Amino acid sequence: MIELNNLSFAYRRKHPVLSNITLNLSTGHIHGLLGCNGIGKTTLLKIVCGIMRPDSGRVCVDGRNPMERHPEMLSSMFIVPEEFDLPNVSLRRYAAITAPFYPNFDMEQMLGYCRELNVDADVRLHSLSMGQRKKAYIAFALACNVRMLLLDEPTNGLDIPSKGAFRRLLAGYVDDERMVVISTHQVADVEQLIDNIIILDTEGVALNATTAEICSRLSFGRVSDGAEVLYRERSVVGDVAVAVNDSGEESSLNIELLFNAATANRKAISELFIR
Amino acid sequence: MHFNEEKPIWRQIYELIAKRILSGEWPEGERIVSVREMAASVGVNPNTVMRSYEHLEADGVIFNRRGIGFFVAEGARERMCAIERKKFIDEELPKLRERLLLLGLIIEVKSNSKNG
């Protein structure tokens, strides 16, 4: 369980990146963390894993402050940053050196993930392309079998077949004891994968709801001119919109539309999901 | 697996399983793949897959043996067929008819014609 209470952070005074973030992330879910550039998604992930300290507010990971860097917390959490440096050794060697910090690491599993993602665990990491390196790191991260896996823009740089493989691996990874948090702009890559959506904006958390809740309360798609909607935009097929779902049936989610709606009409959207 | 945008994903997985039961690929009385296996094979969140299973269970097509897994129910094929037939008639057929009319592949015959 990750609990954030009234969290704020600024790199420069009077220019807050995160303000008033109150958020609980529970296990059993793949959380999608969405927000415009510079809104603080990466900062939030770094605060959660104790790399950075918030200016104010409270962070609690399984009852502990991550800044304590308690070994138990560190061994149950893994973050794959958007950009990272790895030593110039093979992934197999890297894993052998680093795995002792993760008691549930499984080498055979990692090699299996490498096969799925089509990446060679026996060549030096610096001789791999950026995308290959990312896949290698994801394979290692998954094989650590941590309870809390944080992924910052994981699909950036991945080729098309790898995105499918990534989804299958993640869908097989999460269970009742584990959670995954994916920060991303590539919503199409993760639309069917995430089951809880968090939208951050300058005021804090604009939306935090499960995809099931969203689809039962909102509908997405083409509308006629006069229809009453919460948000509308032009597209090649005519106007598309987000409206209150009063059909009694679940709609089909469109995250891009949802995001634009939550940005343009924050109040109406967030009021629908007050818990 | 590719998903279309018109139906919720849980519904599409429901239909995928319905097809396997109708075709006999998953025979009555046999255990089906677990929620996790299904999630991992189609790359969909396991909670979403669970909802497909729950709907299938509510429709009496599969049942859960605690700690063992889900099984195809006796009479599932017939029940599934009835459900899918009703859905076809209620939802798909009207759309198909509209399209056929639009393309001139069928013509509407007014039953209360004066000369008739």
pLDDT in tens, A138-156: 999 999 999 999 999 999 9
**Could you tell me the CATH number of the domain that includes residue A160?**
3.40.50.300
Domain-located, residue B49: yes
Distance from CA of B113 to the nearest CA of A (A): 34
Residues with Cβ < 8 Å from B86, sequence gap 6 or more? none
List pLDDT tens digits, range A81-123: 999 999 999 999 999 999 999 999 999 999 999 999 999 999 9
Domain membership of residue B85 as a residue range: 9-103
Domains held by chain A: number: 2
* Residue of B16, B37, B47, B49 best to disrupt the A interface, most CBs of A under 10 A: B47
Mean pLDDT score of chain A: 94
User: Which residues of chain A approach chain B closer than 8 Å at the C-beta?
Assistant: 28-30, 164, 167-172, 174-175, 192-195, 211-212, 215, 250-254
Domain extent at residue A26: 2-202
Residue B4 has pLDDT above 60, yes or no: no
Residue, of A208 and A234, whose pLDDT is higher: A208
The domain boundary, picked from A176, A202, A228, lies at: A202
* A64 lies in the same domain as A176: yes
From residue A25, give the alpha-carbon distance in Å to each of A181, A182, A196: 9, 12, 9
State how far residue A173 is from chain B, nearest Cα, in angstroms.
8
In a shared domain, residues A150 and A231: no
Same-domain check for residues A163 and A233: no
- pLDDT tens for each residue of B28-70: 999 999 999 999 999 999 999 999 999 999 999 999 999 899 9
Asked whether this complex has an ipTM greater than 0.95, the answer is no
Based on the domain organization, do A134 and A255 belong to the same domain?
Answer: no
Query: Which pair of tokens denotes residue B102?
Result: 């639009």
A150 shares a domain with A239: no
Q: Are residues A195 and A67 in the same domain?
A: yes
pLDDT at B7: 85
H or E, element range at B79: helix B76-87
pLDDT over 80 (residue A22): yes
For residue A226, pLDDT over 80 is answered with no
Task: Output the domain CATH number for residue B79.
Answer: 1.10.10.10
**C-alpha distance from B48 to closest chain A C-alpha (Å):** 7
Check whether residue A71 and residue A163 sit in a common domain: yes
* Residue B83 located in a structural domain: yes
* Tens-place pLDDT, residues A234-258: 888 788 899 999 888 888 999 999 9
Question: Are residue A105 and residue A152 in the same domain, yes or no?
Answer: yes
Q: Whole-angstrom Cα distance, residue A3 to residue A64?
A: 10
Residue range B69-79: mean pLDDT, rounded: 95
Number of domains in chain B: 1
Which of A169, A202, A235 is the last residue in one of the domains? A202
